[in-house]
Amino acid sequence: MTKPILIAGPCSAETREQILETAAGLVVLNPDYFRAGIWKPRTRPGEFEGIGKDALPWMLEAKEKYGLKLATEVAKAEHVEAVLKAGFDMIWIGARSTANPFTVQDIADALAGVSIPVMVKNPTNPDLKLWLGAIERVEKAGIKELSAIHRGFSVYEKTKYRNKPNWQIPIALKQERKDIPLICDPSHITGKSELIQRIAQKAYDLKYDGLMIETHCNPLKAWTDARQQVTPAELDIILNCLEIRNREEFNSNELLSMREEINGIDDEIIRQLKERMQISAAIGKLKKKTKTAILQHSRWKELIEKNIERAKQSNLSHEFLDELYKLIHEESIRIQYQILSSKDE
């Protein structure tokens, strides 16, 4: 593959000294873009929301001194106007903005007639259509250089990651829009600097086109997201440890044979699921006859506990089985609800 795209820099522009010191450390890594958040959309009021326009000269000084191309997040039309006037080289639309079509449209309108690369992060919630819709709005404004950034998705339950990757969603986006480069943001997915390399490697193995990694000259003293930032030296180590594997289609008799085995197992899984849902339907008819509620909490708790134990015994991820059985359970509830809601006796 061609050289992967690298976007690096601090989560937030904090001080002139911080920006210049981080930029100086990144020069040797030759990033495609030097990033920093100038406006920071925060979850709660009173938190640090970025320096704003006062940080623009610091970024421009880094560009002039170190020859780095500049990138930042925009969330309003006025942000677009400010960075275009300053001479930034790329912008991205953040996850909170992508989640709101009105916000995306305002940004797209501000970009009409402009030639600048634009990257669109996935929305906070796992919604492929919303992500595609944001890309299409910017595309209709006339922007030719578009990329998508996968930064993970917010979930209610706690996981080892800050934002759940939900890899199937960016993969589906790439299948639908093969023309758009896909960038991984392991900093926001993991929320932990020590997990960045693992996620970055998986992104490369899934044929992503590049990485956006938050890099700070002194992460321990960062004003925002300190836990997920690395130093330029640490980023260098991460990048050197990543393996870029062959991306050409690979076929052999041995591989084809194993794929045939998988096809057979998949057929059996479908058959077993069909039988399971037929039993769920029979249970639904019994519940309707006895006027019993669909959801039985004790049964659901028992099922989850058994599956966690089975996962341990089978050397399977209990997170995987948990997600799988949630989907199966939801389908069972749907079938039973349909039966209980019908007017048939």
Residue 281 resides in a domain? yes
Residue 91 resides in a domain? yes
Rounded to 10 deg, the angle between the 253-290 and 318-341 helix axes is 40
Percentage of residues of the chain with pLDDT beyond 70: 98
b/e burial code for range 217-240 (CB count within 10 A of at least 16 → b) = bebeebbbbeebbbbbebbbebbe
Domain containing residue 232: CATH number: 3.20.20.70
Q: Dihedrals φ, ψ of 149, to 5°? A: -115, 125
Domain containing residue 294: CATH number: 1.20.59.10
Question: Are 16 and 155 found together in one domain?
Answer: yes
Question: Are 258 and 215 found together in one domain?
Answer: no
DSSP label at residue 333: H
Question: Are 221 and 326 found together in one domain?
Answer: no
pTM: 0.81
Q: Which of 241, 263, 291 is the last residue of a domain?
A: 241
Amino acid, res. 278: Q
Residue 287 CA to residue 285 CA, distance in Å, equals 5
Structural domains counted in the chain: 2
Residue 9 CA to residue 17 CA, distance in Å, equals 13
Tokens 């330029």 -> residue: 232
Which range marks the domain in which residue 189 is found?
5-241
pLDDT of residue 244: 83
Question: Are 184 and 276 found together in one domain?
Answer: no
Q: Is residue 40 over pLDDT 90?
A: no
Read off the pLDDT of residues 70-129 as tens digits, 9 standing for 90 and up: 999 999 999 999 999 999 999 999 999 999 999 999 999 999 999 999 999 999 999 999
Q: Is residue 267 over pLDDT 80?
A: yes
Question: Are 91 and 165 found together in one domain?
Answer: yes
Read off the pLDDT of residues 250-262 as tens digits, 9 standing for 90 and up: 777 888 888 889 9
Read off the pLDDT of residues 64-77 as tens digits, 9 standing for 90 and up: 999 999 999 999 99
Residue 118 resides in a domain? yes
Angstrom distances, CA of residue 122 to CA of 98, 152, 169, 187, 240: 7, 7, 9, 14, 27
Question: Are 168 and 269 found together in one domain?
Answer: no
